[in-house]
Amino acid sequence: MATVRTLIVVASICQWRMPHMDVKNAFLNGDLHEEVYMTPPSGVAHQSGEVCKLRKDLYGLKQAPRAWFEKFFTMITSLGFLPSHHDSALFVKCTMACRILLSLYVNDMIITGDDCDGINSLKSELAHCFAMKNLGMLHYFLGIEVAYSSKGYLLSQSKYIADMFEHARLTDSWTVDTPLETNARYSPSDGTPLADSSLYRTIVGSLVYLTVTRPDIEHVVQVVSQFVIALTTVYWVVVLRILRYLWGTQFQSLLFPSTSSLELRVYSDTDWAGDPTDHKSTTGFCIFLSDSLISWRSKKQYVISQSSTEVEYLSMASTTCEIV
C-alpha cells in the first residue's frame, strides 16, 4: 500500500491522470506447468475412474496466483515495462520523453504517467490479451475511496469504518476524542476471559487494514493486536474505544497536495522498555514526500535493548530500511 500511496502522490504533484482497470477472472488466464487432475464436475458423462486433466488454471488451485502473475509479467515486460527493484508488482516504462507506471494488485491495476497516447495503447494491449473492465478514473481501490480536486488527491475509508461499526453491532453514536487512554498500560492478565473471541479478532483484523489511511490509530492497533490469543474483557473495551473514536473521525482523510516538491523528510522516535510485560521498546516513524505522508509504522522491536542508546540505533536502522 505504501507503493500505491507514493504513486498517487507523484500523480498528484505531476498532474497525471490515473485510469483504473480490472481483469475479469484473472486466475483463469494462468498456464499450468504441472500435471493436475480433477474429478469431473456433476453433469459431465464419464466412466468410473476417469478424471479430467487440466490445461489451464482454475480458481482454488494453489498454483493459480503464481501462474496468473507469470502470465501478466510475460505480457507486460514484452511491452517494454520493467519491474521495480523495490516492489515486484510495480512496472515502469521510461523513454527520453515520458514515462508510464502500472501498479498491479491481484486483478486490480492503476495506471499513470505523462504519456497519454502510451497509456491508451497500453489499455488496448491489455484488452487484447485479457478480458478487461475499464473502471474509469481512480475513485475506489481495495476499500479506499479516492477523490480528486485541484488541490490534490484525498484518500479515505469512511464507508469501511461504517461497515466495521455495523459489524461490531454498535447502535449508539457515543464518541471519544482519543483512541487510547493517556498513559494506559496493559498486560495479558488484565480482565476476565472473553466467552467469544471471534468478533474481537475480526474487528482487530479490520483495524489493521484501516491503518492504510489512518496513521493516527497505528499505535493503538499495534497494542490490541498483541492480545488476539489471550483475550479478556479489558481489551474488548479498548477495541470499542477505538471504534467510538473512529465514529467521531469517520471522514478524516489523507490529503496529497498537488503543489509541492519531491523532497523526502523522515521523523523517527522510540520509547525504552515501554511494554511492562516483555520490556521491549516500540519504534515509530513517518515518512513524508514533501507534504504528503506516504509511509508510517508503530512496531515493537524484536529484542530487549540494554540501553536507550541501543534503542535509538535499532530505531534508526529500521527507519533507514524503510527509506531505502
Give the model's confidence band at 57: pLDDT under 50 very low, under 70 low, under 90 confident, else very high. confident
Q: Which of 253, 320, 205 is nearest to 8 (CA)?
A: 253
Q: According to the model, what pLDDT value does residue 79 have?
A: 94
Q: According to the model, what pLDDT value does residue 11 have?
A: 83
Over residues 8-22, the pLDDT tens digits come to 888 887 788 899 999
Report whether pLDDT(157) > 90: yes
Q: Which of 82, 91, 72, 64 is nearest to 129 (CA)?
A: 72
Average pLDDT over residues 282-300: 89
Determine the Cα–Cα distance for residues 189 and 310; give it in Å rounded to an integer: 29
Report whether pLDDT(204) > 80: yes
Q: According to the model, what pLDDT value does residue 320 have?
A: 94
Average pLDDT over residues 30-38: 86
- Using CA atoms of 214, 218, 224, 227 in order, give the dihedral in degrees to the nearest 10: 130
Report whether pLDDT(171) > 90: no
Q: What is the Cα Rg of the chain in Å?
A: 24
Give the model's confidence band at 108: pLDDT under 50 very low, under 70 low, under 90 confident, else very high. very high
Pairing, β 282-289 against β 292-300: antiparallel
Which stretches of the chain are assigned E, i.e. beta strand?
Answer: 19-23, 37-38, 52-53, 82-83, 90-94, 99-105, 108-113, 132-137, 140-141, 144-149, 152-156, 254-257, 264-270, 282-289, 292-300
Give the model's confidence band at 156: pLDDT under 50 very low, under 70 low, under 90 confident, else very high. very high
Which three three-digit cell numbers place residue 153?
A: 488527491
Q: According to the model, what pLDDT value does residue 124 have?
A: 94
Q: According to the model, what pLDDT value does residue 214 have?
A: 93
Q: Which residues contact 306 (CB under 8 A, 6 or more apart)?
A: none
CB atoms within 10 A of CB 320: 12
Q: According to the model, what pLDDT value does residue 54 have?
A: 86
Q: According to the model, what pLDDT value does residue 160 have?
A: 93
Q: According to the model, what pLDDT value does residue 226 have?
A: 84
The one-letter code for the residue type at 76 is: I
Q: According to the model, what pLDDT value does residue 39 have?
A: 87
Average pLDDT over residues 240-255: 92
Answering whether pTM is above 0.75, one says: yes
Over residues 76-91, the pLDDT tens digits come to 999 999 999 888 999 9
Helix H or strand E encompassing 195? none
